[in-house]
Structure 1
Amino acid sequence: MPAFSALVRSFNAMPTSVGLKRGYLGACWAPPARLELAHKQAIYDALRAVSSLAFGADMTLYWRDRAAGGYLDKITRFYFIHSEDDRVVGWTGYHRLKLAGRTCLYLDSTGVLPELQNTGIMTKLFGQFLLGELLRAGPYGLYVSMRTENPVVYQSFYKVAGERNIFPSLSAPVPDKVQEIGRQLAAWLNQSDKFDAPSLRVAGAYDNLDALYGELPTCDDDAINTYFRQHLRPVDAFLVLAKLSSPGTLLSIAAKRLRTPSRKHARATSPL
């Protein structure tokens, strides 16, 4: 994989830079659709390489399918994370959608290299763009959504949104409004036929991959790990929806998490 500076040097649209932790930077294209075709292909090639390292599995077919579906032409913001020594070490991005009358950010494929997982680098980036989107959304707040089978991803947003504002809940039914947002999101993902609204489960969400993880991830909450094991097969996922409405609360919880990262190793990545 080329160095980040060499990768983007000839691009027709340069990214804006976001400072993260420990000297790492986020490079943002908003939107990446303005990039020329050859430059989009260079990003897909880099994504294939870095995501295969992050997941411990060959992601070639995954990114071939995503490229064919116009991933970079549709996403609202795309980020590469790179280091001071010019390595591409992670990526993320999101779509800004209107679903059931509410602003919904769908977090698309996300990950960092194993040695940087649970270091707070991705949390710092999320905190920055979620604050901006909360301010943009106004008094109604917004929903953050993701398709994942990863308990670590769920736990991160559980800590941000709180138990009453994340779905599926470990102990309560999914409200009708959230089910409708889930239905519209599943339709947008072309997975309506695989989606069960009351559970927010997508059966066979990853059936285009032989194995999503080299080793199944776990978080440091046994109740969350058990819930995921009981309700999902290896190729299934949840459409997780977290309701956010307070920039102050978001900053407070994100800052606390950045000060005390989890010490338990887990692959905090997801193709979503």
Structure 2
Amino acid sequence: MTSFSTLVRSFDVKPTLRALPRGYRSACWSPPASLGAAHKEAIYGALREVSTLAFGADMTPYWRDRSRDGFLDRISRFYFIHSADDRIVGWTGYHRLKLAGRACLYLDSTGVLPELQNTGIMTGLFSQFLAWEMLRSGPWGVYVSMRTENPVVYQSFYKVAGERNTHPCLTASVPPRVQEMGRQLSVWLKQSDKFEPSSLRVKGAYDNLDALYGELPTCDDENINRYFREHLRPVDAFLVLAKLSGPSTLLSIARRRLGAVLKKRHSRQGESRKKAA
């Protein structure tokens, strides 16, 4: 696979780079529509490669359709994640939308290589931009949404927003406003004919693929894993919507970021002590 530095060397618009946990970095284009056509095509090529490795399924048809639909021309922010040894290991991006009168960030196609799932790298990136978007949105807060069949992604929402503010909720029905937000989002996604408001399920969301994952990931909460197994087929997905608002959510995000920094510092201090000994 093409290295990150080789990929972007000739780009007419350089990304903004930021540090992530475990020595990884994010590279952001905001918006990627400003890139030249050849450079967008290079990004699509890299996305085909890394997403095929991440999902264990051929993602060529998926990215062919997304490129024809102008994915990089429509998305507000796009990120690659790369490692210290210059490998592209993940990607994500989001659109800023208004749904039922509320600000909403729709997280578009997202993934990391299998060995990096549940390591906090993607959560670290989410924490960076969610804190900024919450401050930007003001007192009303912001909803975050994503179409996913991955319990790991759902758990990331759940940990930041809490059970009561994450839908579908494992133990409660979907409120009418959130159902309407989901309905409007399904129209925007051109999948309204497949959407079930009461469950936030999109039946056949990935019917242009045999299945999005070769083997469905699992998180460390068996209740979440069971909920996904019981309600989704391999080509189905949920439209997950989570409300982020108030100082408690910002504090939760800040605590996670601080915890990652302290853990990294503690690790370095331990290595220094070993060398000194």
**TM-score normalised according to structure 1 size:** 0.92
Q: Which amino acid aligns with 2:76?
A: T
* Matched position secondary structure for 1:41: helix
Matched ranges for 1:1-272 at <5 A? 1-253=1-253, 255-256=255-256, 259=259
Instruction: State how many pairs are aligned.
Output: 260
> For the pair shown, which has the larger CA radius of gyration, 1 or 2?
2
* Matched position secondary structure for 2:66: helix
Partner of 1:263: none
d(CA) in 2 for partners of 1:173 and 1:229?
A: 18
d(CA) in 2 for partners of 1:120 and 1:35?
A: 29
d(CA) in 2 for partners of 1:229 and 1:94?
A: 26
Structure 2: segments with no counterpart, 5+ residues: 261-277
Contact 1:135 1:247 in 2 (8 A): no
**How far off is 1:254 after superposition?**
6.3
Contact 2:219 2:225 in 1 (8 A): yes
d(CA) in 2 for partners of 1:79 and 1:94?
A: 9
After alignment, is 209-218 or 199-208 more displaced? 209-218
* Matched position secondary structure for 1:22: helix
| 1:221-243 deviation line (CA, Å, top 9, x unaligned) | 22212211111111111100000
Runs ≥4 residues deviating over 2 A: 246-260
**TM-score normalised according to structure 2 size:** 0.90
Quick one: higher RCO (CA 8 Å, sep 6+), 1 or 2?
Answer: 1
Q: Which amino acid aligns with 1:132?
A: W
Contact 1:127 1:251 in 2 (8 A): no
Greater fraction of residues in helix? 2
* Matched position secondary structure for 2:230: helix
Contact 2:27 2:80 in 1 (8 A): yes
Q: Specify whether residues 8 and 190 from structure 1 end up closer, same or farther in structure 2 by C-alpha distance, changes over 3 A only.
A: same
d(CA) in 2 for partners of 1:150 and 1:247?
A: 28
Contact 2:124 2:257 in 1 (8 A): no
Structure 1: segments with no counterpart, 5+ residues: 261-272
* Matched position secondary structure for 1:147: strand
| 1:88-134 deviation line (CA, Å, top 9, x unaligned) | 11111000101111100000111111222211111111000000000
* Matched position secondary structure for 1:135: helix
Q: Specify whether residues 31 and 218 from structure 1 end up closer, same or farther in structure 2 by C-alpha distance, changes over 3 A only.
A: same
